[in-house]
Amino acid sequence: MYIVFEGIDGAGKSTQINLLKDWLEQNGFDVETVVEPTDSEVGKLIRKILQRPDATTDRIQKTLGLLFAADRMLIMDKLNDDSKVILSDRSFISSLAYQEPAEWIEQINKYAKEPDLVLLLDVDVKTSVNRCSKEDEFENEEFLSKVKANYLDLISNFNHEIIDASTGVNKVSTDVKKAVAPYMGICPDCIR
C-alpha cells in the first residue's frame, strides 16, 4: 500500500504522517515513511535551489521539475516494497501541482509510481503562509493560491480523499484514520 499525502506548504503533512504511522504500527502494520524531496544528493540540490530568489521563475521551475523527477527515481525500490505500508510526504502529484506544463511533467514522471491512495490536506492559503518558515520562495500567497487551485483540479484523476486540514491536529488525524481504515481492514466507525 502506497499512501501519499499532498497539499500546499504548511498544510500539516509531516505531523499527520507521524500520527498515522504510530496508529498503523499500533494496529500491527509495518510502516515506512518517505519525504520528497529526499535526503539524496539530488534532494539536497533541490532544497538549495528552492531558496533562490528566482525559484518561482519559469526557467528555475522547469529545472526543478527535472530534478524532482530524478530525485523520485532514486526511491523507486523503496516505494515498490509490497511488504510495507509506505506513507509518503509528497509524490509526482506535487510536481503536477507546482511545476508546468502538465503534459511535460507527466512525461518526465512516466516511470513514477502511482499511489494507491492520495490524501489531500486542504487548507486556505493565508493559514498555510502563516504556518510556513518563509525560508523558501515558494511560500508566498500568490504562488500557493495557484498551486492549491491546481491540486483541486487534478486530484480527481487519482483515488483520493480531500481532508479539511484547518480543523486542528486531532480532528484532522481522526479524519485521516477514517479515510485509511477501509484499506487496512479496520472499521472506520470504530475510530473516534
Closest CA to 98 of 144, 141, 133, 131: 144
Three cell numbers, residue 43: 534532494
Residue type, 73: M
Q: Which is nearer to ligand TYD, 140 or 174 (CB)?
A: 140
Rounded CA gap, 31 and 19, in Å? 12
Nearer to ligand TYD, 150 or 178 (CB): 150
The DSSP annotation for 57-94 comes to SHHHHHHHHHHHHHHHHTTHHHHT-TTSEEEEE--HHH
User: Given candidates 3, 5, 6, 9, which one binds ligand TYD under the rule CB under 6 A?
Assistant: 9
Q: The sheet that has 117-122: what strands, in order across it?
A: 31-35, 85-89, 2-6, 117-122, 160-164
Compute how many other C-beta atoms are within 10 angstroms of the C-beta atom of residue 127. 15
Is 95 a binder of ligand TYD (CB under 6 A)?
yes
Does residue number 88 form part of the binding site for ligand TYD (CB under 6 A)? no
Residues 52-71 that bind ligand TYD (CB under 6 A): 68
In the bound state, the residue with its beta carbon closest to ligand TYD is: 98
Site for ligand TYD in 117-136 (CB under 6 A): 136
23 binding ligand TYD? (CB under 6 A)? no
Q: Least distance from C-beta 145 to ligand TYD, angstroms?
A: 14
Q: Is the peptide bond before 101 cis (omega within 30 degrees of 0)?
A: yes
* 9 annotated binding-site participant: yes
Number of residues that bind ligand TYD (CB under 6 A): 13
Distance CA 91, CA 80 (A): 14
Q: Is 178 a residue that touches ligand TYD (CB under 6 A)?
A: no
Closest distance of CB 129 from ligand TYD, Å: 12
Q: Of residues 148-177, which lie at the interface with ligand TYD (CB under 6 A)? A: none
What residue ranges bind ligand TYD (CB under 6 A)? 9, 36-37, 50, 68, 89-90, 94-95, 98-99, 136, 138
